[in-house]
Amino acid sequence: MGGYDERELYITTRPLTAFETPLGRLKLTRLPQSATKSVAFYQEQIAWILPEEIPDHLGIFIDDGGIKGPRSTYKHETLKKNPLIRRFTWECAVTLERILPRIEEAGLTVSGSEFVCCVPELDIVGNFVSLGGRKISKQKKKRCKTGLDQQQRMKLEDD
């Protein structure tokens, strides 16, 4: 959702970011990358948009968000008004319908290529999440077990 380059700094705080260049004095208009507390500030802003959804229906980690579906499949129970729709699918759609317009209203974007909807399991931010709970993803485990690769070790030794 969104990104650092989409978070504007207040006009009154922009002079605090001024720096001199051969082109003259420049100042930042967006949240600076790698600055002290930028991550915390950005996380706080994203959480402020949907506080009533966190943590029950939405999990946010910086600019990655996971909209949570129901914790049960209700034994594949269908809706009384439409027996072609399963209850858990309907509940997930209602949650999406409540959250996505708020994200749009806040001026944030959702990546179409990264958007995954209504799946029984998902690998997100190094976690494998399903109805059975959350576990560390296989990729993350593998990286933790192998540690640094040979190139990284050599680079560290050279520095």
pLDDT at 62 over 60: yes
Q: For residue 96, give the nearest of 67, 59, 74 by alpha carbon.
A: 67
Amino acid at 159: D
CATH classification of 4-118, choosing from 3.30.450, 3.30.70, 1.10.357, 1.20.1530? 3.30.70
Q: How far apart are CA 108 and CA 28, in angstroms?
A: 20
The predicted pLDDT at position 114 comes to 87
Q: What number is the average pLDDT over the span 117-128? A: 86
pTM here is 0.68
Rounded to the nearest integer, the mean pLDDT of the chain is: 84
The predicted pLDDT at position 8 comes to 84
Q: Where are the domains of the chain?
A: 4-118
**Site of tokens 């946010």:** 60
pLDDT digits 0-9 by tens, 15-53: 998 999 999 999 999 887 766 677 888 888 888 989 999
DSSP state of 32: P
Percent with pLDDT over 90 in the chain: 36
CB 8 within 8 A of CB 29: yes
DSSP state of 8: B
pLDDT digits 0-9 by tens, 128-141: 888 888 888 887 77
